[in-house]
Amino acid sequence: MKRVLLIEDLPQVAQHLQQMLSREKEAELVAVESEGDAALVRVTTEKPDAVLIDALLSGKSTGFDIAKRVRAASPGTRIVMVTVPQRPIEPKPDQGIDAVFVLPGGANELATALAIGKRDVRLKGRMIVCFSPKGGSGKTTIAINLATILRRRGHSVALMDGVMQFGSVRHSLQVPPATRSIVDLPTGQGMRTSLSEVLWEGPSGVAVLLGPPRPEEAELMAAPDVAMAMQLLAEDHDYVIVDAPSKLGEETLAMLDVADVILLVVTYMQASIANTRAAVDTFEALGYKGRIPILLVVNQADNAAGMSKGGIENTLNLPVVGEIPTDWKLVAESLNKQQPFVLSSPNAAVSKAIDALANALVQQQRR
């Protein structure tokens, strides 16, 4: 169900669009606003999936001005400009225009612009694999909190524990002991019909696919099935966040092969950077670099120890998209209470850094 905010100052046009939306079973009208300031309040409070904006708005703010403000306030919201044939507009996501609906277009055109159902222009969700070649980097904590913040922004999100042996997601969240896991799925295409039955609803509604509860059960999982589980999750979710193993084994490579983004978690420690350099060399040999965006997240970024963001970017020849500061107390409490810190302490510096990371990933996707 797409939650839609309509920004239109002409009553007759607003009524026409409301009627069209009422006939679309997969759309829900959140509200109708006629000017920018009130609309921005709605965006921040209602968090709609999409906003329809009249490009011909009169008043102190144009439709294009409002589109840019909506994009800044809610980067994940889809923005659709409404216009007429005499005033053609081209989609420009970097300027806050994801799609254009030309009046008096029909239901199919409106559904396509809003990215609804089978007419969705997005063929699948974005699979982001969190990887670090060195244990203790904080990748699991980052993956959990990143999935939670993306869900809080209104996206449908799945979190997958890709560590088949000794995975940490189960122990970082308040998962009931008897909760089912990936080993309860049939192999091959039979996985499709059973996947929803084993997903556990985590924080803020994140759909969690857990790894095996016992280490010996890891042997039951074949690498192709792990990759297929990722892809099936992507059919029903905007984002799939995967906590991958640190070892570059068959299962990890299967995940990386189908990933849309590889998020490399590093720290300002020589051992971490050296191991990451070796991993990046392997990625190049496998043909990932240039085909899949490989992005860096620096954890414990306030402990630079004489290093710098520019230095690590130069050493690894990759961009840093996030810097997460240290907060040992908050992170430890979060893990012990099994609750993401972005929920328990949203105003903490480490939570704001995760929010900035989510924003960077959404913007990277649009580019």
| The pLDDT of residue 129 | 97
pLDDT band for position 94 (cuts 50, 70, 90): low
Beta carbons within 10 angstroms of residue 246's beta carbon: 18
Nearest to 221 by CA among 161, 262, 285: 161
Residue 139 has pLDDT above 90, yes or no: yes
Structural domains in the chain?
2-119 (3.40.50.2300), 126-366 (3.40.50.300)
Distance from C-alpha of 282 to C-alpha of 276, rounded to nearest angstrom: 10
Hey, is 202 helix, strand or coil?
Answer: coil
| The pLDDT of residue 367 | 56
pLDDT band for position 189 (cuts 50, 70, 90): low
CA trace torsion 302, 304, 305, 310 (10° rounding): -160
Which residues are within 8 A (CB) of 163 and not within 5 positions of it... i.e. 6 or more apart? 169, 211, 243, 244, 245
| Chain center to CA of 289 | 21
pLDDT band for position 176 (cuts 50, 70, 90): very high
Which has more confidence, 107 or 175? 175
pTM above 0.85, yes or no: no
Q: Which amino acid is at 109?
A: E
Angle at 106 between CA 100 and CA 112, to 5 degrees: 45
Least confident segment among 36-40, 161-165, 214-218, 261-265: 36-40
Q: What are phi and psi of 202, to 5 degrees?
A: -95, -160
Quote the DSSP letter at residue 249: S
| The pLDDT of residue 320 | 95
Burial of 345 per CB tally in 10 Å (0-12, 13-18, 19+): middle
Percentage of the chain modeled with pLDDT above 90 = 47
Distance from C-alpha of 123 to C-alpha of 121, rounded to nearest angstrom: 6
pLDDT winner (highest mean) among 192-196, 222-226, 290-294, 335-339:
335-339
* Averaged pLDDT for residues 335-360: 94
Distance from C-alpha of 38 to C-alpha of 20, rounded to nearest angstrom: 23
Supply the mean pLDDT for the chain: 88
Please tell me whether the peptide bond between 319 and the residue prior to it is cis, using omega within 30 degrees of 0.
no
- Tokens 């996206």 found at: 155
